[in-house]
């Protein structure tokens, strides 16, 4: 099945086709050699794919070209995100890690020294980074809930507190930690700090979840951070990351559409081949309607994602559009994969196919990057304020 073009310009269609061919011919065959729930490829499989991605211009696509990234638009990033999600581990490791990853964008607002020391190796060599914002006190409203505190003492800050649900913290080369330097509840009282390596006083505890790749609780006990590792000025933490958080919802949403579209193709192929009571499954009206509804909903979700991306590229405020895209895409993808499992019956929940893994992992997508309820609140407040 050919993916609906959604009015994409020719350049974007070419990028999509190039990425799709790379996934089909090289990434997915490599992934078939690792276990069902694997979250990485062994170096002998991964490195050749990464070199190929770099030659194709598919490496760290959103990172600035001057630092070794692809320097692509948000629209191109969304198109690529949809395609690179179409593998077993694609929900959280696009293209099995073959296309690298963009460093947390706030680091690119740092000093020249910070960029050279942290951002450039992340882009060029794939060095890993984590971002620690959420806490047990309330991850969906960090401006008010953050209790991790940073106190300046001479030429360094002392950090104390704990962060929750931090992906990749144990294996990262560096990370960004958001801590309170002002009064509790102040939005402008949050400051961002660069944590290098595993400093004394920092510990990571794995938190088992529904997916096999667990996040971590990161505890900070008298962790010392030099002043030169403060990102921006005191109190600028959320000003540094707000645009990045909004922008990140676009490829996040696009990836879920890619997974669901791939699941739908599996269901279509199955329905056309599977015979029950002397007729093909594809001839059953119930199956036809599930497939039709899924395709219609995916096209709608894709249009919303692309609209948000285009507004972002045009320099317009797209916070509301990003929230809409995130909710619609993640919830649509969950419904579509659920239907596809139903179409395949017992085979749908077997580990011979990726559907059951996608079903588990898409459930997290409705929580990550802000739960659906928070984004609905953002939209409602925007509409109500406009109506006054």
Half-sphere exposure of 152 (CA within 13 A, CB side): 13
Closest by CA to 249, choosing from 320, 313, 191, is: 320
Residue among 234, 369, 373, 382 flagged as catalytic: 369
Closest by CA to 54, choosing from 98, 105, 108, is: 98
Using CA atoms, how far apart are residues 159 and 82, in angstroms rounded to an integer? 38
Number of H helices, E strands in the chain: 12, 10
Using CA atoms, how far apart are residues 282 and 162, in angstroms rounded to an integer? 52
Instruction: Give me 220's structure tokens.
Output: 């900070």
Between the CA atoms of 163, 149, 239 and 234, what dihedral angle is there, to the nearest 10 degrees? -150
Clarify whether 369 is annotated catalytic.
yes
Return phi, psi of residue 332, to 5°. Answer: -65, -45
Catalytic residues: 369
């Amino acid at each position: 099945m050919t993916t609906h073009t959604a009015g994409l310009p020719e350049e974007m269609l070419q990028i999509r086709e190039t990425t799709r061919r790379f996934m089909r011919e090289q990434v997915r065959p490599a992934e078939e050699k690792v276990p069902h729930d694997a979250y990485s490829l062994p170096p002998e499989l991964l490195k050749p794919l990464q070199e190929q991605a770099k030659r194709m211009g598919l490496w760290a696509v959103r990172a600035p070209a001057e630092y070794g990234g692809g320097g692509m638009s948000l629209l191109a990033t969304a198109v690529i995100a949809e395609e690179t999600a179409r593998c077993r581990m694609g929900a959280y490791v696009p293209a099995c890690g073959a296309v690298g990853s963009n460093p947390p964008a706030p680091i690119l607002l740092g000093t020249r020294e910070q960029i050279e020391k942290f951002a450039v190796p992340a882009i060029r060599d794939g060095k890993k980074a984590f971002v620690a914002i959420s806490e047990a006190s309330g991850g969906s409203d960090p401006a008010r809930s953050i209790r991790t505190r940073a106190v300046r003492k001479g030429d360094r800050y002392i950090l104390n507190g704990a962060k929750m649900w931090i992906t990749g913290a144990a294996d990262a080369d560096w990370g960004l930690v958001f801590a309170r330097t002002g009064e509790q509840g102040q939005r402008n009282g949050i400051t961002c700090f660069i944590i290098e390596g595993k400093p004394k006083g920092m510990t990571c505890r794995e938190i088992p979840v529904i997916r096999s790749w667990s996040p971590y609780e990161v505890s900070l006990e008298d962790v010392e951070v030099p002043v030169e590792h403060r990102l921006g000025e005191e109190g600028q933490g959320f000003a540094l990351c707000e645009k990045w958080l909004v922008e990140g919802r676009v490829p996040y949403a696009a990836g879920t559409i890619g997974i669901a579209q791939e699941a739908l193709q599996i269901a279509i192929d199955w329905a056309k081949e599977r015979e029950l009571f002397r007729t093909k499954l594809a001839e059953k009206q119930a199956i036809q309607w599930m497939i039709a509804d899924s395709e219609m909903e995916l096209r709608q979700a894709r249009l919303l994602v692309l609209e948000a991306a285009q507004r972002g590229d045009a320099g317009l405020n797209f916070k509301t559009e990003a929230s809409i895209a995130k909710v619609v895409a993640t919830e649509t993808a969950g419904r579509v994969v659920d239907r596809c499992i139903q179409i395949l019956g017992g085979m749908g929940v077997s580990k011979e196919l990726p559907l059951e893994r996608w079903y588990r992992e898409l459930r997290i997508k409705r929580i990550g990057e802000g739960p659906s309820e928070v984004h609905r609140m953002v939209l409602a407040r925007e509409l109500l304020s406009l109506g006054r």
